[in-house]
Structure formats: structure tokens, C-alpha cells
Structure 1
Amino acid sequence: MNERNPENLEYLLTPALESERMPVPAYSAGAHFFTAFFGGPFAIILFSALNAAHMGRSQKDAWRYVLAMIVSIGVVGWIILGSQGGSGSAWLVGLFDYDTSRAVRIGGRAFGLMVWGVLWFPYRRYYKAAEMMGVEMKTPWIPAVSCIAAGLVLQLVMISGLPGLWQSD
């Protein structure tokens, strides 16, 4: 049958590398980048978690998203508190004329791109394999825009609520 002999060449027609399942279509790496750029750290965490759910890796990668969310809340909070001049990020907010929303927007964008790199790195082989196999990536527009909107809302909530927590009356 599939014996490797010169007279029986049917074994050449069977795949050498058999996979039980093809890679699931996911959102492209470019969609992740633009979500991080326009939405900041919270948007890319939400979008990447949504992508992990499509790939069936939610439970396996949940710790990454929880850790990224905790660190992102800390970094954005650090930038916001810098607008009051009481933390180490006062110099960063000072670059933006102590405009908290602008500092959070630009600082959050830069940090969001760093988070994108950290969250994308474990999936790089998956994207390479999907590209080599010709798997069509899913259309990211509705989820990406939704995650960007949610990320910006989270940043606005932090901007409006966090300074009030530290003011003494």
C-alpha cells in the first residue's frame, strides 16, 4: 500500500506532514498594530484576547491578558498622576504642557505598541504558518473599531476618575 519501493509510487501522493486541523483564520498582525496605534494598550489587549478566543487559546493565554491589563492600568495611572506633579511621570506630562488627556493619548499609544509587540510575539509562528498555507485572515473592522472605542472609553474613565481618588478634601 504505502510501502516505499520503486514499483509502488502511491506513497508520493500522500502528505508527509499531516495536521489534524488547519490554522483557524484570525485577525491579521497589521490589524493588531493599527488597533494598538489608534486605541492604546486597553484596545490591543481586548483585540488580542478576542483573537485568542477565535484561535481557541483563551484559557491558555488568559494570564497574559490579565497581566497586560494590570500593567497597563498601572502605566496609564502613572501618567495621569504625573499631571498633578506628584509622581515620576511629571516630566512626561510636562512635555505636553501638562495636558493630561494628550499625555495619556500619546503615552498610551506608545505603550500600546509595546503591549502589541509583547502579545504578538507568541503568535508569530502561527501567522507565518497561516501565511504559508494561504489561510485567509478574518475581516477585522468591526471588532477592531469596537475594541478601539472600548479602549478609549477606558482611558477616559481613568482620566476623569483617577485624579479625584487622590485629592484630599
Structure 2
Amino acid sequence: MSSTLLHRRAAEYAAESHTKYSLETPYVVNIHAARLLAEAQPLWTFDHAAAESQRFCRSATADFDVCATAPDSVVHGLAGYFDAELYADVRLSICPSTHTPDMHSWFPMYFPLRQPLAADAGARISVHMWRRCADARTWYEWAVETPAATSAIHNANGHQYWIGQ
């Protein structure tokens, strides 16, 4: 996704909190001042009924083609959504294409890039995501590749952001 506003706000948070790592922290945001450069794709699924003791660590790579009709853009970060089947035909989704009508209580995650990357119209972007687990912590790591450049792996080893279990 391209959003100068979200990227600037994450960088401002770094300045206010005196940390260089806020651009390696995902944020829950209402994405409104942004251009989505490609359709959302599923990365992985969880089946909580399958194994109660499973830690749900995952990794995936997804390739996105920037809309050919979009002007050349800058990738400032990633948008993360969920689509959950709760029971039989009961679903909750915040994905743009399957969004649950009138649901306003959950927002997507914004995974910023420390250094935004250029993305030409029609370019292929590869997104690498990891959901890591160790001890009593779970965290996300991410990296992006464009034809022009590759980002660093963000939040390696959960050094900036993690969730306690």
C-alpha cells in the first residue's frame, strides 16, 4: 500500500518516543488516506480445532502485481486483514473484497517499511511474512521486494514488537 500519511505518522511516533524502531512495529489503523496497489491475498490459515497445542508459527511469500492502470507509486508498507469463519456460515471479514457489512469494530494492521520502495505500474512485488513463536512470545517479521530494491527484514527476532502468550 502507498500512504504518505500513515508512514509519516509512524515516523513521528518514533521521534516522540525517542526510538528508531517504530517503523518496525505494526499498527492497527483505519486505512483511509492510502492507495491499495493490488488486491489482498491470503497468506495462511489457522484451524484452532485441529490442534490445541500448536503454536501457529507460519511463513509465506505472496506476489502482487501493481495495478497496471495505477500511476507509479511508492510502497510505504503492507495492509494486513483477516477473514474468519466462526461457525458454518458465520463469517467476519475486514478484507476489502469480503468486508462484513456494517462492521466497524476492527481495523487492518499497517506494517510500515523503514525505507519506502518505488513500485512502477504493472510491477511485481513480493511480500515475505513470518509469524514467529519462541518462549512465551509471538511476533511478526516482514520484508518486501520490488524490481528496484529489497527491504530489510523488519522486526527481526521480535526486537521491537511482540505479543505475550
Same fold (TM over 0.5): no
Which structure is higher in helix share? 1
Higher relative contact order structure (alpha carbons within 8 Å, sequence separation ≥ 6): 1
Larger Rg: 1
Which structure is higher in strand share? 2
TM-score (norm 2): 0.21
